[in-house]
Amino acid sequence: MSFKSLLGRQPFRIAAFSSLVLLAACGNKEPQAQAGGMKVPVSVITVQPTSTELFSELPGRVEAIKDAQIRARVSGIVEEINFEQGADIKQDQLLFTIDAAPYRAVRNQAAAQLKNAQADAQSAKQLAQRYERLIKENAVSRQDYDNAKARAMQADAAIAAAQATLESANIDLGYTKIVSPVAGRIGRSLITEGALVSAANATHMATVQQLDRVYVDVTRSTAELTQLRRAMADGSLTSAGEAQAKATAVLEDGSNYDQEGVLLFSGVSVDPSTSQVTLRAVFPNPDEILLPGMYVRLRLEQGVIPDALLVPAQAVQYTSDGASNLYVVREEKAQSVPVVLGPESHGQYVVNKGLQAGDQIVVEGFQKIRPGAPVQTIPWKGKQPAGASDAAEAPAQEPAAAAEPTEAKSSE
């Protein structure tokens, strides 16, 4: 072999040998990294059975205890508005004055008719008494005597009719002074002085609402009521022991109303169009924070679950089909476990199926893991669910990263 041939093949051999050394080094690097067993740190809680009060939140509207619409009961011109708009008023306080002259004249006419009827009755009565004496002496006929008695009775009936007419005229005259039927807060006046109001159309003039106490009306489906009764029957839910269920109102800004209410009743009939029943709670409202028509959420006590397993809402994962999962740490590995969730209580879900007492639940850090991944458990620093334990493995030292192999060098 010539010297030139040796020079031509030597660089090729050196390059091929270097490539083989580099491939061997890369092939050894992955097993070393896997052997290191890197653990992902996650925050966990240990769930334990605990007695838990169960609540439900339902949307509702505030209604006034008394909502009196002030309407015209006689027709006429409004002469005066006798209240300050938006003020607190008393029962029987004067609100509006309607022109009373026409009704006063009708009243006077009815009074005159009554006097006329009384005079006619007196004359008819005296005639009947005179004929009663004469009939005994056969001085008048029986027919004349009967006619006199009938006229006396007709005169008495005329008096009664005149009295009724006078009473009706007095009532209409009284309606020209419009007073409040209830005590409460009056809104704006819907008419002005000089306006014509009509009894036939019952002109709406103002509204008075009692606000020191208010109702909150909500609806609930019959399916939820049936489920609640079943839970009570099988013992998984027990009564809270109160004569009347307590209620809390959650305002539109998310804060709780500072006055506690009670549930008055649950409807006994079902709305056929919605399959729901109506519930009503009553709340004290001394500062008039709750106003009629306001939207609130009503939180109602349902009962007590004696051995509930609670997990924070943030620990729950949802699949694309809507199923619920939790990451549970078993044998130092994260496992995705399907669960059946019950009601929510104070930001925590009751787990009906899928968990056991003592299970460690991943609350934070599950975004960085997958099922079967090794994890390093750290006690969760957030708000612990009732009965949960923060006992978890102490943080261990992270294993040192495997040293990468050095690149082999070849010599010519």
**Cβ partners under 8 Å of residue 371, min gap 6:** 334, 335, 336
Phi, psi of 215 (to 5 degrees): -95, 150
Q: Which domains does the chain have, with CATH numbers?
A: 55-63+213-305 (2.40.30.170), 73-99+176-202 (2.40.50.100), 101-174 (1.10.287.470)
pLDDT for position 88: 92
pTM of the model: 0.61
**Residue in 183, 151, 213, 190 with CA at minimum distance from that of residue 68:** 183
- Helix, strand, or coil (residue 180): coil
**Residue in 199, 189, 16, 230 with CA at minimum distance from that of residue 87:** 189
**Cβ partners under 8 Å of residue 118, min gap 6:** 159, 162
pLDDT for position 232: 60
pLDDT for position 384: 63
187 touches 95 (CB < 8 A): no
Q: Which residues of the chain have pLDDT under 70?
A: 1-37, 227-229, 231-244, 266-268, 383-412
pLDDT for position 235: 57
Q: What is the pLDDT of residues 348-406, one digit of tens each?
A: 888 888 888 888 889 888 788 888 888 888 888 876 665 565 544 444 444 333 333 33
pLDDT for position 393: 43
